A = this chain, B = another copy of it.
Amino acid sequence: MNLELTPVQAVACCSPLSREPLSASEAEGIAPLLKALADPVRLRLMSLVASHEGGEACVCDLNGAFDLSQPTISHHLKVLHAAGLLEREKRGVWVYYRARTDALANLAALIGGHSK
């Protein structure tokens, strides 16, 4: 049983980096989100999904964009989903992923924000 908050829920907690020091626990909550994004393949996956028409894409749209095996892409999608950056929805044989733009916006505000 796992009742922890997903990383995406932890990012809305804090004021921007430049405003006040992050506590240790806040930093430990946010780092996994950045870690999930900090990979070239996952960055491209996020941008492919986020910029895809309708704001979603199925795995079949994504596999072809990489020189990687299908299980590897599936693994990266799982990491992004576990971090809360992608939503998953199964429709028939296909699985559609959708970007959590709210999570991306919160993360961006944390990194680059100035005001409270």
A residues adjacent to B (C-beta < 8 A): 17-24, 27-28, 30-32, 34-35, 37-41, 43-44, 46-48, 50-51, 65, 99, 101, 104-109, 111-113
Contacts and interface: CB of A to CB of B under 8 A. Distances in A.
A106 B41 CA distance: 20
A44 B29 CA distance: 12
B44 A27 contact: yes
B40 A38 contact: no
A47 B46 CA distance: 26
A111 B50 CA distance: 11
Contacts of A112: 104-109, 112
A23 to B, nearest CB: 8
A47 B105 contact: no
A51 B20 contact: yes
Given A27-B40, A31-B40, A17 B47 contact: yes
Given A34-B38, A38-B38, A108-B108, A101 B18 contact: yes
